[in-house]
Amino acid sequence: MTARVAIVIGFLAVAAAVIVAGAPRAETPAQRVERIAAELRCPVCQGLSVADSSSDTARAMRALIEERVAQGRTDDEVRDEFRRAYGEWIILSPPLLDARGAVWVLPVVALIAGAVVAWLRLGRTPPVAGSPSPEQLRALREREIAEEAVE
């Protein structure tokens, strides 16, 4: 019983902390700049984002984003401006609602299909003949621990 109470308390603590930490907060302009910069490719680097790169080009692009954010442009407007200048290539993550969205959908499909197959490979009852009682299972477990300890 005490074990059950401890588990409930632990779970509640995790859940509360996650909810508090995950609650949406108003973004500061600096955070917005950082987020937009992280999604743009630094055109002179090897696969780094504008946020990660300290190259002159990336710093100029970041300055431009800062300016646009200060002017009150939306995220899409800023992104579109770079898209017009450099092409679709400048965006580091493909859009979801598009033919390219497959790259988002496929991992989810693979996960679900894999989980379903795994679930089907599991039996509903223990595979040993006749269901062992909790006491038997516990004895089995104790023996395993003893065996493993001297393995």
Which of positions 51-90 make contact with other proteins (CB under 8 A)?
Answer: 52-54, 56, 59, 87-90
Distance from C-alpha of 41 to C-alpha of 142, rounded to nearest angstrom: 56
Three-state secondary structure string covering 45-103: CCCCECCCCCCHHHHHHHHHHHHHHHCCCCHHHHHHHHHHHHCHHHECCCCCCCHHHHH
Site for other proteins contains 114 (CB under 8 A): yes
| Part of the chain binding other proteins (CB under 8 A), chosen from 64-72, 73-81, 109-117 | 109-117
Chain residues 1-40 in contact with other proteins, contact rule CB under 8 A: 2-4, 6-7, 9-14, 16-22, 25, 38-39
Closest CB to other proteins among residues 22, 72: 22
Site for other proteins contains 129 (CB under 8 A): no
Site for other proteins contains 100 (CB under 8 A): yes
Given a contact cutoff of 8 angstroms between Cβ atoms, the answer to whether 21 and 5 are in contact is no
